[in-house]
Amino acid sequence: MSKFKVGIVGATGFTGHELIKILAGHGGVELVYATSTSSAGKKVSELYPDLSYLDLSFEDYTVLEAKKRKLDCVFLAVPHGESMQFAFDLLEAGIKVVDLSADFRFSDYQTYEKTYKPHSQRDLCSQAVYGLPEFFRKDIVNAKLIGNPGCYVTASLLALLPLKEVVTDIIIDAKSGVSGAGRKAEEAYMYVNVASNFKAYGIAKHRHQPEIETYVGQKLEFTPHLLPVSRGILATVYFKSQKTYEELNSLLQTTYKNEPFVTVLTKSDPELRMITGTNNAYLKLYKASKEGQFIIVSVIDNLVKGASGQAVQNMNLILGLEETAGLILSPVYP
């Protein structure tokens, strides 16, 4: 049986590395094209020795080369603002696209432009499908362009979307491992500044807040924090509701009953060690100390369910593969 051919544009970042690892163990696709501006000509194993079993080199990107390789799908793991032109050219060449940047996460380009920068491919925004499979699966399977959600947003939306019609006064207190900032060398992310430290940032102005608000359908407060760990997202979501705990928990349980990667816990508490290195998400609903107030804790791996794993989940759907293919991963523990 022939395999689908896939490529990665921008394959040297943390999400690119995670994509390569997942795709290398995927039985239904073959990674035949991995591009990098900074590392073209180098073997993948030179940059990532853990991938020494791969006979693959980084290359310069051209859409002509992507067409020549007869790619079925391309992952765009490049910064916001750069993906939009890549996506247009690839779609024109008949290649499906999963974009890991924010460029196609908003169907309304005006919201994108208020948050990021002017959009050069406005018409494509309304054609893109938001890549949160648990809620947009029916649209994803017929899509050619996927806007893959980010890590903070995924953790928050998984907690809130089943309940969005019955909750108010939402406050999201979210923490991320340092890998969420990418591989860039900046002073703020140096070991001496992160180890034994903990801080909030982007308070009341973080660029992911409009994305969460768009899909929840109401204004909320979102405060991200930088954890002194390598990877993982833990979001603590506070809200009010006139529903009972039992009603809210039933909504969560019903929503995720048949979802392969989302588990609603009833006994143990969500922890980062449950999800590190996996495409899984764990949620738990709690009663707050005040009547009518509730808390949900949500945990995911920022590089997998929050980025590359979810991207592969979307790829599986648009290529007609088993949704879980390549994504049955065990957590890294201890």
- Residue with the bigger pLDDT between 332 and 20: it is 20
117 CB-near residues (< 8 Å, 6+ apart):
80, 81
Per-residue pLDDT band at 185 (split at 50, 70, 90)? low
pLDDT digits (tens, 9 = 90+) for 20-35: 999 999 999 999 999 9
Query: What is the model's pLDDT at position 332?
Result: 84
CATH number of 4-127: 3.40.50.720
pLDDT at residue number 123: 96
Give catalytic status of residue 125 as yes or no: no
The CA-atom distances, in angstroms, between 282 and each of 61, 156, 191, 248 are: 37, 12, 28, 16
| Average pLDDT, rounded, for the chain | 95
Confidence at 226, pLDDT banded by 50, 70, 90:
very high
* pTM beyond 0.85: yes
Over residues 194-222, the pLDDT tens digits come to 888 889 998 988 999 999 999 999 999 99
Q: Would the pLDDT of 1 be above 70?
A: no
Locus of tokens 């980084």 = 58
pLDDT digits (tens, 9 = 90+) for 125-176: 999 999 999 999 999 999 999 999 999 999 999 999 999 999 999 999 999 9
pLDDT for the residue 179? 80
Taking the domain 152-302, which CATH number applies? 3.30.360.10
Q: Give the start-to-end residue ranges of the domains of the chain.
A: 4-127, 152-302
pLDDT of residue 334: 73
pLDDT at 198: 87
Report pLDDT for 88. Answer: 98
25, HSE (Cβ side, Cα atoms, 13 Å):
13
Same fold yes or no, 4-127 and 152-302: no
Region 95-124: mean pLDDT is 97
* pLDDT tens for each residue of 52-79: 999 999 999 999 999 999 999 999 999 9
Q: Pick the catalytic residue: 151, 167, 281, 312?
A: 151
